[in-house]
């Protein structure tokens, strides 16, 4: 780390070099300072791409008081983190907006990166698809393969809000390519979606997750991810909105 002369070192032990030089028995030896591991963890967390709104999310500050299903979802998240990497599958969080799917997914990713050194990535599925669509232009600087490569190879991937993009054939092909590659490589994936396999008839048209992402991709997810359903009140509407209104 390069530091201006007027700046004070954050680490008094190594002077922010990350290394300590010792001379046991008169022989000089360098060993990593404890601050080096902390710096590497911070760098990995920054590289994970967790949206700013969700960077302070933890499993512990997840509000599960609204239903037993949310309590079960929080418990599933904690068990997943505690057991990782010895997990049989990833997680598929399914529920309507405001139930905490992204909160839990990002909390898991953040904790695993920070405490276990996992190399993970967050991807909003719509934003990722937009980047891939841009790669089709004749003046594009990166290819579809180059955009997808980091997400295909990540040790842990959080793929947020699949099914949000209209199910054009090319959209379904990209999702299948990404998830099938991870499936074949036995990579762990956490997925969130608003679309269930058996929607509530009272909620309107019966659009299923399979309708949105295609049969092949849904089939892979049955084996790749444990289904965790989140039912309860909309946290933004029931909890956050009254808090915002009370400030005025």
pLDDT at 1: 44
pLDDT at 242: 56
Query: If you compute the radius of gyration of the chain from its CA atoms, what whole number of angstroms results?
Result: 22
Give the pLDDT mean for 207-231: 96
The CA–CA distances, whole Å, from 120 to 22, 43, 94, 111, 199 equal 35, 12, 21, 11, 31
In the numeric block, the tokens 């039912």 are attached to 231
pLDDT band at residue 238 under the 50/70/90 scheme: low
Please tell me the pTM assigned to this model: 0.82
Q: Print the SS3 string covering 199-243.
A: CCHHHCCCCCHHHHHCHHHHHHHHHHEEEEECCCCCHHHHHHHHH
Is 227 or 247 the better-scoring residue by pLDDT?
227
pLDDT at 220: 97
- pLDDT above 70 for 203: no
Give the tens place of pLDDT for each residue, 88-139.
999 999 999 889 999 999 999 999 999 998 999 999 999 999 999 998 888 8
For the chain, the structural domain boundaries read 9-40, 48-245
Stretch (H or E) spanning 53: none
pLDDT band at residue 235 under the 50/70/90 scheme: low
Alpha-carbon gap, residue 213 to 224, rounded angstroms? 15
Give the tens place of pLDDT for each residue, 15-69.
777 777 788 777 778 777 777 677 777 888 899 999 999 999 999 999 887 789 9
pLDDT band at residue 241 under the 50/70/90 scheme: low
Beta bridge partners, 189, equal 157
pLDDT at 4: 47
pLDDT at 101: 97
| CATH placement of domain 48-245 | 3.40.50.300
């Amino acid at each position: 780390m390069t530091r201006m002369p007027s700046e004070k070192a954050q680490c008094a032990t190594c002077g922010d070099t990350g290394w300590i030089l010792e001379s046991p028995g008169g022989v000089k030896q360098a060993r990593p300072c404890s601050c080096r591991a902390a710096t590497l963890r911070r760098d990995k967390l920054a590289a994970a791409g967790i949206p700013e709104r969700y960077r302070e999310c933890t499993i512990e500050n997840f509000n599960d008081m609204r239903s037993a299903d949310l309590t079960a979802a929080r418990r599933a998240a904690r068990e997943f983190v505690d057991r990782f990497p010895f997990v049989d599958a990833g997680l598929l969080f399914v529920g309507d907006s405001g139930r905490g799917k992204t909160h839990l997914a990002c909390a898991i990713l953040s904790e695993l990166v920070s405490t276990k050194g996992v190399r993970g990535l967050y991807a909003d599925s719509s934003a990722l698809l937009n980047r891939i669509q841009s790669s089709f232009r004749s003046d594009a600087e990166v290819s579809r393969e180059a955009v997808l490569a980091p997400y295909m190879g990540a040790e842990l991937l959080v793929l947020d809000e699949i099914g949000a993009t209209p199910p054009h054939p090319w959209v379904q092909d990209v999702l299948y390519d990404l998830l099938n590659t991870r499936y074949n490589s036995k990579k762990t994936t956490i997925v969130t979606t608003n679309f269930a396999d058996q929607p509530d008839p009272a909620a309107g048209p019966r659009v299923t997750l399979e309708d949105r992402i295609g049969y092949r991709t849904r089939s892979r997810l049955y084996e790749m991810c444990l289904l965790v359903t989140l039912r309860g009140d909309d946290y933004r509407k029931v909890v956050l909105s009254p808090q915002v209104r009370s400030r005025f």
